[in-house]
Amino acid sequence: MNHEISSEWLTIEKVEEILNQHASLSLSEEAVERIEKCRRYLDEKMESQTDPIYGITTGFGSLCNISIDKESLTQLQKNLVMSHACGLGDRVAPQIVRLMLLLKIQSLSYGNSGVQLATVQRLIDFYNADILPVVFSQGSLGASGDLAPLANLSLPLLGLGEVMRHGHIIPASEALDNMGWRPIDLQSKEGLALLNGTQFMSAHAVDALIKALRLSRQADKIAAMSLDAFDGRVDAFGDEVNRVRNHKGQIETAATIREYLKGSEIAAHPKKHVQDPYSFRCIPQVHGAAKDTIAYVKGKIEDEINSPTDNPTIFPDQDIIVSAGNFHGEPIALPMDFLAIALAELANISERRIYKL
């Protein structure tokens, strides 16, 4: 299977399909055109504009007012990557690194980052060959994006750092030699484009959502089995009583439980008790609220992974280069806290059912 990076909306389900089917990646003609158009615009802008452009013709952070001569621009970008590749802690799981590569490629494909086509293609080469840069779990706090993890992700493009291939960690230079690839010579802005962004956070978020969606489905199946084992009443799962409250997740959960218990002789047998404990009777309300939360978080994370998140952001058609803060992790952090609460509630109500059983 091949997945073509284009302007098509990338859903969590599509990402899961790409991973599960070990799909290879390629750029659509549209994406190639966007990338090349933006790079041409940036090169022409640097030739014609005398005013400084942050991170492109200037230093970074507190050195934003220091101009850099043309001969030093490539070295500046390389130094930026090397100086931020200071991750610590455990190595990030291969699945997360694959997601980081996929999401960084997607982000750079929109033509708002100013990177060379060769740089994006090399990221694709790494993904398709399953050559995974060694990335560490600690080092960035998200306020300036994922600087340290993305620096470690980007080092191997330059023939630096380490990669994992066939289960073994080897120097990136050795992997490039084995594949016959030359290190990328970064042009202006490219170090910033690679390091700025939220692909480390987003990769964890996407991975968590894939698991959360699966856990939510399994929670309903397990709850239906538990209700039957408890000789519980199905009245609380009727369509009318759940639809009157008008929460989508609640209505969906009640319908799912009814479907699972269809044909159950235990469920159809007359009951002596009037109502069940909360942990059974409130399955639609609790599981439903978790579903609604997962859906909300899914929407926010899909917005994120379908966006360019580096800085500055370049708009060739409008002749604008804007230094802003689209790398900030808050739009991911708050929804992920919400997701953690929802999943904890699924576990909580399940534990109470176990107690009753």
Looking up tokens 């599981």 gives: 287
| Residues 216, 346 contacting (CB under 8 angstroms) | yes
Tell me the torsion sign for CA atoms 57, 63, 66, 69: negative
Q: Which of 13, 12, 19 is nearest to 1 (CA)?
A: 19
Token digits for 193? Answer: 């484009």
Token digits for 67? Answer: 């101009």
Could you give the C-alpha distances from 249 to 236, 300, 347, in angstroms and in order?
15, 17, 17
Question: Which residues have CB under 8 Å from 100's CB, separation 6+?
Answer: 92, 135, 149, 150, 153, 199, 200, 203
Question: Which residues have CB under 8 Å from 304's CB, separation 6+?
Answer: 198, 202, 205, 331, 332
Could you give the C-alpha distances from 75 to 54, 66, 191, 197, 339, in angstroms and in order?
16, 15, 10, 21, 42
Catalytic residue among 41, 54, 127, 260, which? 54
Is 110 marked active-site? no
**Which residues are tagged catalytic?**
54
